[in-house]
Amino acid sequence: MIRVVLAEDSSTCRALLTAVLESDSQLRIVGQAHDGEAALTLTEQLRPDVVVMDAHMPVMDGFASTRNIMLRCPTPIVIVSASMNVAHVAASMRALAAGALTLLPKPVSPSDPGFEELAQQFVRTVRAMADVKVVRRFHHPVAATLTSPLIASNLSQADGRPRPRVVGIGASTGGPAALQRVLSAMPSKVPVPIVVVQHIARGFVDGLAGWLDAVTPHNVRVAAHGDHISAGTVYLAPDDHQLWITRRGTVDLSRRVPVGGFLPAVNVLFSSLAESYGASALGVIMTGMGQDGIEGLRDLRATGALVLAQDEETSVVFGMPAAAISAGLVDVVLPLPMIGPRLFQLVRAGLQGVVP
C-alpha cells in the first residue's frame, strides 16, 4: 500500500484528486491538508510514501512547504498545477528546485474526453515517485577535478577530438532543478548553442523555459521549427515533437512519432547531433528514470563525440545516467555542481586546453 498525503486548498479539487488517486487499489490517502503548513505537519506526523501538493496554497505555498519537508522529513513530492500560465508554472518550478520530484497537470473534469488518460497517467506517476529515494545530497564535495587521475585519463584519450560546437543535454525526473544548477554555473556567453530534451508534462515546457531564462544568466527558449541554433542560447524541445538538429544547424520539428514512448525523445536529439556534428558534439545525460538517450549516445560515441554523465550521488533518479554508464557510453562521470563548470571549460578551451 502506498500512503499519500494530499495537499490542496480547493475542497472540490481535493475531492477529485482523492477519487483519482484512490481509483488505484494500491494508493491510500492517509491525510488531507488545505494549506502548505498543514501539509508539512501531516507529513512529519504520518510519514507518508509520497506527498501530492498544489503549488499555490494559503499560509505556506508549495515552494515553502516543499523546502521545509525536504529539510525536516525528506519525502517524495509531486507538485500539481491547474494553470499553464508561465508565471504560475514558474512558482511550481521553484518547488521543483526546492526538492519536489515532478510536476503534473491536475486532472480536468471527468466529463472531459481526455480525463481517463490524464487520470491514469497521474496515478502511474504518483506510484513511480513513491519509490524514489529523496535524501538531498547536492552538497557533494568537489572531490574530482580535471586534474584527478580518472578525469584526466578519460579526457586525455580524447586529445584528437575537435572543440565541441554544440552541447546536447537529456534529462527526466529531477531534470528541471538539475538544469537550473548546470546553467547557473556557466557564464552567459557560452560560445556554443545548448539543446535540451527534458521530459516534462505536456503544457509546462514554456513555463520551464521562462523560469530558466529568469533564474539563470542564459537566454532560454522553446525551440521553433526552422530556428538556426546560435551560440549563447539554450533551446528546449517543445511538446509533441521530436527535436532534430540538421547539418545546417537548424531545428526540424517535423517528426511527431514517439520514440521509445517519448515525444520528444533524448535519443532523437543525440542521434541528430551525431549525424550533423559528429565528434564536434558534446552529449550530457542527467538524472531521470528509464533508458531514453542510450541509442542516441551509441550514435554519438561512434563518431568520437565526448559524453558526460551525472553521478549517482547527485541524481534524483539514477536511471538514465546509470544505463549509459553501464553500456560503456560515458567518458566522464561528474557530480551535478561540476557539470556546468566542466562544460564551459570544454566548449571554451577545447579538450587540449583543459587536459594537463
Catalytic sites, residue numbers: 172, 199, 292
**What is the spatial distance between Cα 183 and Cα 306, in angstroms, rounded to a whole number?**
19
**Among residues 98, 144, 180, which one has the least CA distance to residue 313?**
144
- CA 243 to chain centroid: 16
**What is the spatial distance between Cα 94 and Cα 89, in angstroms, rounded to a whole number?**
9
Q: Where are the alpha helices (DSSP H) in 140-293?
A: 149-156, 175-184, 205-215, 266-277
Largest CA distance in the chain: 64
Radius of gyration of the chain (CA): 20
Tallying the residues shown for the chain, one arrives at: 356
C-beta contacts of 88-92 below 8 A and 24+ residues apart = 88/55, 88/56, 88/207, 89/204, 89/206, 89/207, 89/208, 89/210, 89/211, 90/207, 90/210, 90/211, 90/214, 91/55, 91/56, 91/61, 91/62, 91/63, 92/55, 92/62, 92/204, 92/207
Enter the C-alpha cell of residue 157.
584519450
Adjacent-strand bridge partners of 251: 245
Residues 6+ apart with CB under 8 A from 18: 6, 29, 32
- The residue assigned the cell 535524501 is 135
Going 312 to 265 to 109 to 117, the CA torsion angle's sign is negative
**What is the spatial distance between Cα 23 and Cα 39, in angstroms, rounded to a whole number?**
22
Adjacent-strand bridge partners of 310: 334
**What is the spatial distance between Cα 169 and Cα 266, in angstroms, rounded to a whole number?**
8
